[in-house]
């Protein structure tokens, strides 16, 4: 019995696949946060937005992309 050929992660393909859901999420967060933080400095807005993005990436976007786009992300070694 032959085992399946090992597959290697394509970082370029992963980056492209992550860009699709991340860009609209960042845009939506900015549209929501910017009016609520009028008068705040850039570092304060970033301190608010960064944790939202990190949690969304780690717990929602990356698992979704890895599951749905596995054939695109993983290539034959």
* 69: Cβ contacts below 8 Å, ≥ 6 apart: 13, 17
Average pLDDT over residues 48-71: 96
pTM score, whole prediction: 0.78
Q: How many domains does the chain have?
A: 1
Give Cβ neighbours of residue 51 (< 8 Å, ≥ 6 apart). Answer: none
Note down the domain range covering 37. 7-76
Residue 32 lies in a domain: yes
Q: Is residue 2 part of a domain?
A: no
Q: Which helix (H) or strand (E) element contains residue 6?
A: none
- The pLDDT of residue 1 is 66
Q: Within a domain: residue 1?
A: no
Looking at residue 76, what DSSP letter applies?
E
Q: Are 69 and 17 in contact (CB under 8 A)?
A: yes
Residue 37 falls inside a structural domain: yes
| Res. 76 pLDDT band, cuts 50 70 90 | confident
């Amino acid at each position: 019995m032959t085992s399946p050929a090992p597959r290697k992660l394509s970082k370029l393909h992963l980056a492209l696949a992550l860009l699709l859901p991340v860009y609209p999420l960042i845009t939506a967060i900015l549209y929501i946060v910017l009016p609520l933080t009028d008068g705040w400095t850039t570092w304060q807005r970033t301190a608010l937005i960064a944790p939202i993005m990190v949690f969304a990436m780690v717990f929602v976007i990356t698992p979704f992309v890895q599951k749905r786009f596995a054939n695109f992300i993983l290539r034959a070694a």
